[in-house]
Amino acid sequence: MHRIPIGVLGASGYAGRELCALVRKHPDLRLAFATANEQAGRTVELPGGGEVTFVATEQAPLADAQLIFSSLPHGASKAWVEKSRAAGAKVVDLSHDLRIGNGVDGVVYGLTELYRDQIRGADIVANPGCYPTSISLALLPLIEQGLIAHHATIIANSASGVTGAGFTARTDLLFGEITENYRAYGTGNTHRHLNEMRALLGTLQSDAELVFTPHLLPIARGILSSITVPLRGTLDDAMAPFRSRYGTEPFIELASAPPELRHVTGRNTVRIFAQPLAHLKQPTLLILSAIDNLMKGAAGQAVQNANLMLGLEETAGLPV
């Protein structure tokens, strides 16, 4: 069978290598090129086996690819998205550059379960951030069904594995600094993902406010978000809004107990559990949402979107 040629820009990072691995195992895609500037010419091992040799981004034969994933750094990615489009390729951009809230036109925000139809016809998709994926999918049914209290303050505490910080030579990410440690970071109003989520809330015409506190876990992969949401009224069945919204979604799992990160590791899945907090006067829901930050939080969702853009089966090549 003819496989569709794919390019990966900025392929040496964690998400980039995961993208290469997914493309290599995908039944309908083939890896035309993978770029990395500092590691140009190097051959590295991919997660799950197999190897890839990087070319310099400037040398990338953009026109050879029908779709290009850009996993270039924030700020640097936007220009390469344009070059890729000019070369005729569709693009899924994994950087922050084109995401919702940045005021960029002609780009679809790639939260697949929300914008599936628009993604099918898109030339450029901005893949959501990892934290926003875990939190937005937890809130979406409540927002759409009008269940959140008026002017509610939603509190989202998230904890992420270290690959979320990228494959960067930073001393604060050394094993010796992370093992047996845990800390919050980007607190207050400082994490760029908060703006992304607030922009999405605005688009969905929600008046809720959001507190977002990310933490750094001593694990490689995974994000767990623990979210409290004040409700308009009590819910007889806390999972009902999620079942009715997500019942047929291939990549959303509704859990009957608090999800564990290891159960989503390596899988393009969001696992969601909701529980009423019955002891409070104000009806409030606790939602726990687990993803693999490199899969549903990055490369997996990117391939899910690419499948739609290329007219393939949405689940093709993705471990369920």
Residues annotated as catalytic (active site), given as ranges:
130
Q: Does 288 bind a copy of itself (CB under 8 A)?
A: yes
Task: Report the alpha-carbon distance of residue 168 to residue 224 in Å, rounded.
Answer: 23
Backbone angles phi, psi at 281, to 5 degrees: -70, -45
**Nearest-approach distance from CB 286 to a copy of itself, in angstroms:** 6
Rounded (10°) CA dihedral 283, 157, 110, 36: 180
Contact 103, 41 (CB under 8 A): no
Q: Does 76 bind a copy of itself (CB under 8 A)?
A: no
How many chain residues bind a copy of itself (CB under 8 A)? 70
Task: Report the alpha-carbon distance of residue 278 to residue 81 in Å, rounded.
Answer: 48
Task: Report the alpha-carbon distance of residue 309 to residue 90 in Å, rounded.
Answer: 8
**Nearest-approach distance from CB 279 to a copy of itself, in angstroms:** 4
Q: Does 299 bind a copy of itself (CB under 8 A)?
A: no
Please, which residue, 167 or 316, has the CB nearer to a copy of itself? 167
Among 3, 74, 243, 262, binds a copy of itself (CB under 8 A): 262
Task: Report the alpha-carbon distance of residue 279 to residue 276 in Å, rounded.
Answer: 9
Site string for a copy of itself, 15-54 (x = CB under 8 A): ------------------------------x--xx-----
- The count of residues in the chain is 320
Task: Report the alpha-carbon distance of residue 16 to residue 105 in Å, rounded.
Answer: 25
Amino acid at 320: V
Of 64-72, 99-107, 121-129, 172-180, which segment contacts a copy of itself by CB under 8 A?
172-180
185 DSSP assignment: -
Amino acid at 201: L
Site string for a copy of itself, 203-232 (x = CB under 8 A): ------x-x-x-x-xxxxxx-x-x-x-x--
Q: Does 176 bind a copy of itself (CB under 8 A)?
A: yes
Among 53, 59, 118, 168, binds a copy of itself (CB under 8 A): 168
The two tokens of residue 247 are 């019942």
The two tokens of residue 213 are 């506190």
Interface with a copy of itself by CB under 8 A: which residues? Answer: 14, 45, 48-49, 151, 153, 155, 157, 159, 161-163, 167-171, 173-185, 187-189, 209, 211, 213, 215, 217-222, 224, 226, 228, 230, 258-263, 265-267, 269, 275-282, 284, 286, 288, 319-320
